[in-house]
């Protein structure tokens, strides 16, 4: 993981819009710190009979707009500052997309790739036991994130329900559809991101049919981004990568075949008919659209000058460092910021909450139509403010989001 500090980067983005909003130094200082955070030690019995203690976190950054919302990561390089930064991003993301939610994030330092399914389940349930008094359907609602999935959310929901002695679907989102999950949740982040790319392409003169696309990250978000880009928008996906490396094909990759190949081999590398490349080489390809869909801080000052894409769409959280962001903007390279571009996941998570509260279930068509409407409205607001004030789209997005949080804090009488 990069040595760049995600939390410090997010605070710099907050500073960039403070002058626009005439935020006082005291209020700015309040918004630069999480309201609450919990550190826990999670003992888990491993398959060999030993007991191992895992470090876990849950950060509730700001709840002025409503209950906090944010994913849970299982990752070997997790840090509390990364979790703080991601919780802050969730706060501004929910505000930008006009959701009645605050921002949170959780994480456990572990390597699920080296754990059995049984060990992962015991860890997931133990995490909920450790944070159960910190979360709830009207307080803080977790969801899947890096290396967590719908089945883990089902275990977590089930464990919480056992603790409170009643089935509580609304405590977790990203669940299987059979347990109160929403249609369309699995590909919501990628689908929402493509709605933003579609709108931006109109404004930047990029024709999506045949547009060359490179995607760093081939997990849930990246794989769905590749599939949607190819099948719904007729783009040519020329490169993808995962944690083991990347592949490139000048004529484009067959994404359906690639998905089957990765399911069989565990990686995209050595895919027949493609050339192996590194993750760094993928980022520097000459393409129309670059989609970082993995972890934070993959584009920094070290490589920003070598980025050749016509458009960068942040499907991951914080993939471009603040310093690199400034350099790319000075080069005239449009960046669709994370709080705008990858909001589809939390939007459909919110839809899942609404369905759970109402004991309702929407079909995929309704979910996707509602998602598209929200994404387009947010894009137009950010684009128009960016154009009006002649500022980067990230600064415009933060200005809108922070303004909504400040207004809520003032209305509550907090400041």
Question: In angstroms, rounded to a whole number, what is the distance separating the alpha carbons of residues 260 and 152?
Answer: 23
> Does residue 148 fall inside a structural domain?
yes
Same domain, 99 and 194: no
Same domain, 160 and 196: no
Name 231's Cβ contacts closer than 8 Å, sequence gap at least 6: 255
Low-confidence stretches of the chain (pLDDT beneath 70): 1-4
Same domain, 121 and 225: no
Structure confidence by residue, pLDDT tens digits, 138-147 = 999 999 998 9
Long-range contacts of range 51-56, CB-CB < 8 Å, 24 or more positions apart? Answer: 54/108, 54/109, 54/110, 54/123, 54/126, 55/108, 55/109, 56/106, 56/107, 56/108, 56/109, 56/127, 56/130, 56/131
Question: In angstroms, rounded to a whole number, what is the distance separating the alpha carbons of residues 154 and 168?
Answer: 11
* Residue keyed to tokens 């888990």: 44
Q: Which of 341, 375, 399 is the last residue of a domain?
A: 341
Same domain, 332 and 203: yes
Same domain, 196 and 282: yes
> Does residue 389 fall inside a structural domain?
no
Same domain, 216 and 144: no
> Does residue 25 fall inside a structural domain?
no
The pLDDT value given to residue 415: 84
Q: Which domain holds residue 247?
A: 188-341
Q: Which of 313, 341, 369 is the last residue of a domain?
A: 341
The pLDDT value given to residue 13: 85
Same domain, 331 and 232: yes
Would you list the DSSP string of 240-308? Answer: EEETTEEEE-TT---HHHHHHHHHHHSSSTT-TTSEEE-HHHHHTS--SEEEE-S-S--B-TTTGGG--
Same domain, 192 and 52: no
The pLDDT value given to residue 3: 58
> Does residue 216 fall inside a structural domain?
yes
pTM of whole model > 0.85? yes
> Does residue 58 fall inside a structural domain?
yes
Please count the structural domains in the chain: 2
Active-site annotation holds for 105: yes
Question: In angstroms, rounded to a whole number, what is the distance separating the alpha carbons of residues 237 and 241?
Answer: 11
The pLDDT value given to residue 2: 44
Contact 134, 38 (CB under 8 A): yes
Same domain, 156 and 271: no
Same domain, 210 and 151: no
Among candidate residues 20, 14, 56, 5, the one with its CA nearest the CA of residue 33: 14
Q: Which of 326, 341, 356 is the last residue of a domain?
A: 341
Tokens for 29, please give them. 């200082």
Question: In angstroms, rounded to a whole number, what is the distance separating the alpha carbons of residues 282 and 102?
Answer: 35
> Does residue 57 fall inside a structural domain?
yes
The pLDDT value given to residue 1: 40
Contact 15, 394 (CB under 8 A): no
Structure confidence by residue, pLDDT tens digits, 104-157 = 999 999 999 999 999 999 999 999 999 999 999 999 999 999 899 999 999 999
> Does residue 97 fall inside a structural domain?
yes
Same domain, 161 and 200: no
What CATH number did the domain enclosing 254 receive? 3.40.50.720
Same domain, 201 and 76: no
C-alpha distances (whole Å) from 148 to each of 2, 113, 152, 161, 175 are 21, 11, 6, 19, 11
> Does residue 261 fall inside a structural domain?
yes
What CATH number did the domain enclosing 72 receive? 3.40.50.10860
Question: In angstroms, rounded to a whole number, what is the distance separating the alpha carbons of residues 141 and 180?
Answer: 14
Among candidate residues 291, 308, 150, the one with its CA nearest the CA of residue 225: 291
Residue from 93, 105, 175, 374 carrying the catalytic annotation:
105
């Amino acid at each position: 993981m990069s040595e760049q500090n995600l939390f410090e980067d997010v605070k710099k983005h907050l500073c960039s819009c403070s002058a626009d909003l005439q935020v006082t130094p005291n209020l700015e200082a309040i918004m630069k710190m999480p309201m609450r955070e919990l550190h826990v030690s999670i003992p888990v019995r491993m398959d060999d009979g030993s007991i191992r203690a895992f470090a876990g976190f849950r950060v509730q950054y700001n709840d002025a707009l409503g209950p906090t919302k944010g994913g849970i990561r299982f990752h070997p390089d997790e840090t509390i500052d990364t979790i703080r930064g991601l919780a802050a991003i969730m706060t501004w993301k929910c505000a930008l997309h006009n959701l009645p939610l605050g921002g949170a994030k959780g994480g456990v330092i572990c390597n699920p790739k080296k754990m059995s399914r049984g060990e992962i389940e015991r860890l997931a349930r133990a995490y909920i036991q450790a944070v159960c008094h910190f979360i709830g359907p009207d307080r803080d609602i977790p969801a899947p994130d890096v290396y967590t999935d719908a089945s883990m959310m089902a275990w977590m929901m089930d464990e919480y329900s056992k603790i409170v002695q009643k089935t509580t679907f609304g405590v977790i989102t990203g669940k299987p559809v059979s347990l109160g999950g929403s249609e369309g949740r699995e590909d919501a982040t990628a689908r929402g991101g493509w709605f933003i790319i579609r709108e931006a392409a109109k404004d930047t003169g990029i024709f999506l049919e045949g547009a060359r696309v490179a995607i760093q990250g081939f997990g849930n978000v990246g794989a769905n981004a590749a599939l949607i880009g190819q099948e719904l928008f007729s783009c040519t996906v020329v490169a993808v990568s995962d944690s083991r490396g990347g592949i490139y094909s000048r004529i484009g990759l067959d994404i359906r075949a690639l998905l089957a190949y990765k399911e069989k081999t565990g990686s995209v590398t050595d895919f027949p008919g493609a050339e192996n490349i590194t993750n760094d080489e993928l980022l520097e390809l000459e393409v129309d659209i670059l989609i970082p869909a993995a972890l934070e801080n993959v584009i920094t000052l070290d490589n920003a000058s070598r980025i050749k894409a016509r458009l960068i769409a942040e499907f991951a959280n914080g993939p471009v460092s603040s310093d690199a962001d400034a350099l790319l903007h000075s080069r005239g390279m449009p960046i669709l910021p994370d709080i705008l571009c990858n909001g589809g996941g939390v939007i459909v998570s919110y839809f899942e909450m609404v369905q759970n509260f109402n004991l309702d279930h929407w079909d995929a068509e309704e979910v996707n139509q509602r998602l598209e409407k929200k994404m387009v409205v947010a894009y137009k607001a950010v684009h128009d403010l960016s154009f009006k004030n002649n500022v980067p789209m990230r600064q415009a997005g933060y200005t809108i989001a922070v303004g909504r949080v400040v207004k809520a804090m003032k209305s509550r009488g907090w400041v």
